[in-house]
């Protein structure tokens, strides 16, 4: 990345940059160095330019991009014009003496880490929408920000146009957060919506998502649940005052999901969504997981469709609050990035102890001992689809599960209209809340039952109630 020969900034400097150096920090514009001028970078530049008066009125000072690092300088110039210095060396931006805050909009977890560490060591504030970088290297980067007394802001890294980080760190600051859950990946939500509404298989729905630009050519991070895991990890850290624990998250994507289960869920009064869930279980630890799960069709979350995102937070004082909006897009991400820049502009020069902490809790209050619970210890309701040799075997399935200490709440046969040709009878089971370990053992035992005709499918059921 960025391997072109380094170009000096000197020939492209402008008098207005030098003239602002003598101005007091509170009155001169906040000077931004932008690394990357792709989707996020270009959107940020456009929105800053278009809404500069409004933004300055809210920030109390102007915010202007003074230098941009890009691989393709000609393309960068077509976006930013002639009034901005250009370079193909991101490290020049990270350490430039005439930059107050560095916006990292290039992505990746390797070079970006080095740029941000260098920027903070040089006393620069940092804004990024790079959720993978923060999920993998967040603990190191937040520690560096504290060490150097600078801000590290990342609202755009989680739900883009939804100000969920600000809600957790500020709006809900009086609350002991009990859980955070949401649809935080627009690509998978689009795919699941197509599977439900049009009866498409997973592969067909993915092709449509790629054709419309909702999914990358290599969609693995989205469809395997990794992107959502990056985001729920950051939400959990802010909700519960814990370090970033991405490596401990339980992650399951939607690649194995069958259209049959989408149809059977509808029959039972549920819709399948890819959910990120962070739930505190007292002092025992935190559930941190991503998985396709059934949500009641009467629930608001079941109606977050297409590429939209929806997040719910349960606090002990506020109760359940819900946040809805676009989870991707150039200017949608720019909205969050610029909101972070406004915060930096307002607080630049203040004592670091007076700012909102990076993870919502000051360092001395972060609970390093709060662990992520293992998969077996997670307690939820469950959906099981059991292929059987004959419809009459429905009673045997329910009885066998009950004998395995699974609390069965409902047993039904899949309706004929839900079944593809030649699939055979399917028994559908909904359980009450039960430990994952109990369900796993019961499913293993059920596989040997003479009535069972094939692999048993299991999905969690999330009620998301108050």
Residues marked as catalytic: 231
In 3D space, the residue among 444, 465, 442 whose CA is nearest the CA of residue 455 turns out to be 444
The residue with tokens 């109390």 is: 60
- C-alpha 187/C-alpha 193 separation (Å) is 10
What's the CA gap between 234 and 236, in Å, rounded? 5
In terms of phi and psi (left: phi > 0; alpha: psi -120 to 50; beta: otherwise), the region of 213 is left
Tell which residue, 68, 97, 98, has the closest CA to residue 7.
Answer: 68
Strand runs labelled E in 91-155: 101-104, 125-128, 152-153
CA–CA gap between residue 342 and residue 324 (Å, rounded): 22
Rounded Cα distance between 153 and 151, Å, is 6
CB contact at 8 A, 313 and 166: no
**Contact at 8 Å (CB) between 379 and 408?**
no
What is the radius of gyration, based on Cα positions, of the chain?
A: 25
CA end-to-end span of the chain: 47
Contact assessment for residue 178 and residue 239, using Cβ atoms and an 8 Å cutoff: no
Q: Select from 242, 231, 253, 226 the least CA-distant residue to 286.
A: 242
Cα separation of 311 and 239, whole Å? 13
- Say which DSSP state 12 is in: G
Helix (H) or strand (E) holding 185: none
Q: How many CB atoms are closer than 10 A to CB 83?
A: 12
């Amino acid at each position: 990345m960025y391997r072109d020969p380094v170009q000096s900034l000197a020939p492209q400097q402008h008098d207005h940059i030098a003239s602002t150096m003598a101005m007091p920090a509170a009155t001169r514009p906040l000077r931004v160095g932008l690394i990357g001028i792709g989707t996020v970078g270009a959107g940020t530049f456009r929105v800053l330019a278009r809404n500069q008066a409004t933004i300055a009125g809210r920030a109390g000072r102007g915010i202007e991009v003074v230098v941009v690092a890009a691989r393709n300088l000609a393309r960068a110039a077509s976006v930013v014009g002639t009034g901005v210095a250009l370079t193909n060396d991101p490290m020049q931006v990270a350490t430039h003496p005439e930059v107050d805050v560095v916006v990292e909009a290039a992505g990746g977890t390797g070079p970006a880490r080095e740029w941000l560490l260098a920027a903070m060591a040089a006393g620069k504030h940092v804004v990024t929408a790079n959720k993978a970088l923060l999920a993998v290297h967040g603990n190191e980067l937040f520690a560096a920000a504290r060490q150097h007394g600078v801000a590290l802001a990342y609202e755009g890294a989680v739900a883009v146009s939804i100000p969920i980080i600000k809600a957790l760190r500020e709006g809900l600051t009086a609350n002991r957060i009990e859980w955070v859950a949401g649809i935080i990946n627009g690509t998978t939500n689009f795919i699941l919506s197509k599977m439900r509404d049009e009866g498409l298989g997973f592969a067909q729905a993915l092709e449509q998502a790629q054709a419309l630009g909702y999914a990358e050519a290599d969609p693995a991070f989205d469809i395997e649940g990794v992107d959502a895991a990056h985001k729920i990890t950051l939400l959990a850290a802010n909700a519960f005052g814990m370090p970033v624990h991405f490596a401990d998250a339980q992650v399951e994507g939607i690649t194995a999901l069958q259209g049959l289960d989408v149809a059977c869920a509808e029959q039972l009064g549920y819709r399948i969504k890819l959910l990120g869930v962070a739930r505190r279980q007292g002092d025992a630890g935190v559930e941190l997981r991503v998985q396709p799960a059934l949500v009641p069709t009467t629930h608001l979350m079941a109606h977050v469709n297409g590429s939209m995102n929806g997040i719910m937070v349960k606090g002990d004082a506020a109760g359940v609050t819900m946040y809805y909006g676009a989870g991707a897009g150039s200017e949608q991400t720019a909205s969050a990035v610029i909101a972070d820049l406004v915060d930096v502009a307002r607080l630049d020069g203040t004592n670091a102890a007076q700012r909102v902490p990076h993870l919502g809790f000051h360092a001395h209050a972060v609970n390093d001992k709060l662990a992520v619970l293992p998969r077996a210890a997670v307690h939820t309701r469950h959906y099981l689809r059991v292929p059987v040799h004959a419809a009459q075997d429905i009673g045997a399935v329910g009885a066998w599960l009950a004998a395995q200490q699974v609390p069965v709440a409902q047993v039904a046969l899949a309706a004929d209209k839900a079944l593809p040709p030649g699939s055979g009878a399917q028994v559908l089971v909904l359980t009450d809340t039960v430990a994952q370990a109990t369900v796993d053992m019961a499913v293993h035992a059920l596989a040997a039952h003479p009535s069972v005709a094939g692999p048993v499918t299991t999905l969690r059921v999330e009620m998301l109630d108050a």
